[in-house]
């Protein structure tokens, strides 16, 4: 059974990548970053430096955007303090990623007129050495609400990591796409939410994978977030409500992380 579940995950990941590529969909590398307490000041001061580097990457067309989120709460949040999201339109570029060499080259383009190569190399080395990537996820967007939400510093997001139940992978995706997407769309129309996204892992994962999907929920502030918690879809039928409740059993919600946006590069 576990072997069958693994094969289903592989098939769905490959199918999703092919389908998303044809649709021009979005790929994301989501990294949970750990910074020791003694290096928090240095990492904070490097935000402007990082911003210019990722601006160069966007300008070159290698990435679509980059976000830096400050973690507010979550399971074992002491293990990391920041979440970064790098956006791509191409799965190959996503997998090649921001290598150390690429990162240094972008830094030279961004700061070549104001710093020497040695100074740039020293700053880049410092950035790399004072952070630890506690967790990295390669994801592909499966569904998203239709909205005009603006990603700007100060907005909130919850990163919900899900694991589809064994043998119920397709059922779970059906629940999110066909039941919860319209539900969140109504919340947006009621000004109780900014955006909702449903992601699937872009890489094949075995039956023991900690998570297989993510949902990202965006809010303009905490007032909207807490108001959203009180939302009830008065138009939903009893059958729809029952289907949504039953659908929750098709997945295990592993962790929920709340974070505030610090930087957004597009």
Flag whether pLDDT at 217 surpasses 60: yes
- Report the predicted TM-score, pTM, of the whole model to 2 decimal places: 0.83
User: Pairing state of beta strands 213-219 and 251-265?
Assistant: unpaired
Rounded CA-CA distance 20/198 in Å is 13
Rounded-to-10 torsion of CA 258, 210, 145, 172: -140
By mean pLDDT, which of 1-10, 192-201, 240-249 is the weakest?
A: 1-10
The enclosing H or E element of 43 equals helix 40-45
By mean pLDDT, which of 16-30, 57-71, 145-159, 240-254 is the weakest?
A: 16-30
Report whether 212 contacts 225 (CB < 8 A).
no
Tokens of 108: 């030279």
Report whether 32 contacts 129 (CB < 8 A).
no
Flag whether pLDDT at 188 surpasses 50: yes
Flag whether pLDDT at 150 surpasses 60: yes
Number of residues in the chain: 266
Kindly state the average pLDDT of the residues 13-23: 43
Kindly state the average pLDDT of the residues 1-20: 43
Q: Where are the alpha helices (DSSP H) in the chain?
A: 2-23, 40-45, 47-60, 91-96, 100-111, 117-129, 169-174, 181-189, 222-229, 238-247
Helix 117-129 × helix 47-60 angle, to 10°? 110
Which tens digits make up the pLDDT trace of 83-130? Answer: 999 999 999 999 988 888 888 999 999 998 899 999 999 988 887 777
pLDDT bracket for residue 236 (50, 70, 90): confident
Kindly state the average pLDDT of the residues 200-209: 73
Q: What secondary structure letter does DSSP report for 165? A: P
pLDDT of 87: 97
Flag whether pLDDT at 209 surpasses 60: yes
Q: Report which listed range, 11-20, 159-168, 234-243, is most confident.
A: 159-168
pLDDT of 148: 96
Report which of 19, 30, 2 is spatially closest to residue 215, judged by C-alpha positions.
30
């Amino acid at each position: 059974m576990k072997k069958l579940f693994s094969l289903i995950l592989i098939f769905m990941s490959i199918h999703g990548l092919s389908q998303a590529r044809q649709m021009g969909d979005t790929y994301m590398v989501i990294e949970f970053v750990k910074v020791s307490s003694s290096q928090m000041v240095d990492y904070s001061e490097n935000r402007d430096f990082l911003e210019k580097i990722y601006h160069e990457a966007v300008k070159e067309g290698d990435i679509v955007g980059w976000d830096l989120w400050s973690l507010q709460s979550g399971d074992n949040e002491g293990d990391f303090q920041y979440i970064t999201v790098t956006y791509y339109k191409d799965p190959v570029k996503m997998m090649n990623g921001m290598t150390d060499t690429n990162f240094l080259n972008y830094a030279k383009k961004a700061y070549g007129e104001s710093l020497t190569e040695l100074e740039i190399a020293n700053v880049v080395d410092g950035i790399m050495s004072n952070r630890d990537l506690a967790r990295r996820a390669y994801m592909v967007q499966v569904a998203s609400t239709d909205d005009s939400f603006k990603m700007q510093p100060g907005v909130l997001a919850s990163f919900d990591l899900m694991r589809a139940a064994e043998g119920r992978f397709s059922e779970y995706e059906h629940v999110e796409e066909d039941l919860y997407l319209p539900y969140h769309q109504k919340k947006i129309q009621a000004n109780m939410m900014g955006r909702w996204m449903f992601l699937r892992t872009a890489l094949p994962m075995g039956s023991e994978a900690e998570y297989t999907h993510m949902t990202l929920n965006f809010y303009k502030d905490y007032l909207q977030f807490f108001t959203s918690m009180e939302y009830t879809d008065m138009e939903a039928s009893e059958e729809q409500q029952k289907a949504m409740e039953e659908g929750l059993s098709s997945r295990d919600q592993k962790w929920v992380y709340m974070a505030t946006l610090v930087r957004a590069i597009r």
